[in-house]
Amino acid sequence: MKRVFLFVPLLAALVVGVFLFAGLGKDPTTLESVLVGKPVPEFSLESLDDPDVTLDRSVLEGKVSLLNVWAEWCPSCWDEHEYLSYLAKEQGVRIVGLNYKDQRETAFRFLNRLGNPYDTIIFDPKGTLGFDLGVYGAPETFVIDAEGVVRYRHVGVVNEQVWRQKLLPAMNDARGNG
């Protein structure tokens, strides 16, 4: 009877070990988006190209799209831009840009130098839509389905691995043929 109790510390260590081991591979800086499964928040913002055009959440409806949050001041946005261009041109992905806390002038400089993969660009100089989307660091990329509902959020650079493992499955899922 007493010998059984000798195994209690071993058992406790095993339980704790399993818990800690499970947490080991996780990246603590990625947070689950609470918006997944919810519609994109209401907004009314200017188009980057034309201050007279006001955009609202209907730009994200009708077709499964990527919503890419970017800014000229964000170094990782420069890194991922080439791959976004590839997705738009070669894969026919509709990408809506959210120019986040930037200025028109610098945003245009960025696009002139690297090209423009975006179908439409929402201009959000104060970061209000970014705030409502829970954006805490550009670049972030959201998969939005045809009804304008957020299906997935990726924080960080989009590259081939992210596309294959995360964004493409989420887009297929949103298209209903996952």
Partner 1 sequence: MRVFYAALFVVLAFAGQASADVAEVYDFATRAEEQRYQQLISELRCPKCQNQNIADSNAPISKDMRDEVYRMMQDGASNDDIVGALVDRFGEFVQYKPPLDKRTIVLWAFPAIATLGGLLVVVGVIWRARRRGGEPALSAEDRARAEQILASQSKSDRQR
Binding site for partner 1 (CB under 8 A): 28-29, 31-35, 101, 127, 131-137
Output 59 or 138, the one with its CB closest to partner 1: 138
Least distance from partner 1 to the Cβ atom of residue 67, Å: 15
Cβ-based nearer residue to partner 1, 35 or 87: 35
Task: Sort strands 120-124 and 140-144 into parallel, antiparallel or unpaired.
Answer: unpaired
Alpha carbon separation from 61 to 39, 40, 122, 139, 165 (Å, rounded) = 10, 10, 14, 22, 24
The minimum distance between CB 79 and partner 1, in angstroms, equals: 19
Q: How far is the CB of 48 from partner 1 (least distance, A)?
A: 20
Q: 35 or 66, CB closer to partner 1?
A: 35
Residue 176 exposed, middle or buried by CB count within 10 Å (0-12, 13-18, 19+): exposed
- Shorter beta-carbon distance to partner 1: residue 36 or 114: 36
Sequence-ordered list of residues with C-beta below 8 angstroms from that of 37, at least 6 positions apart, any chain: 149, 150, 151
CB of 15 to partner 1, least distance (A): 13
8 A C-beta contact, residue 55 and residue 122: yes
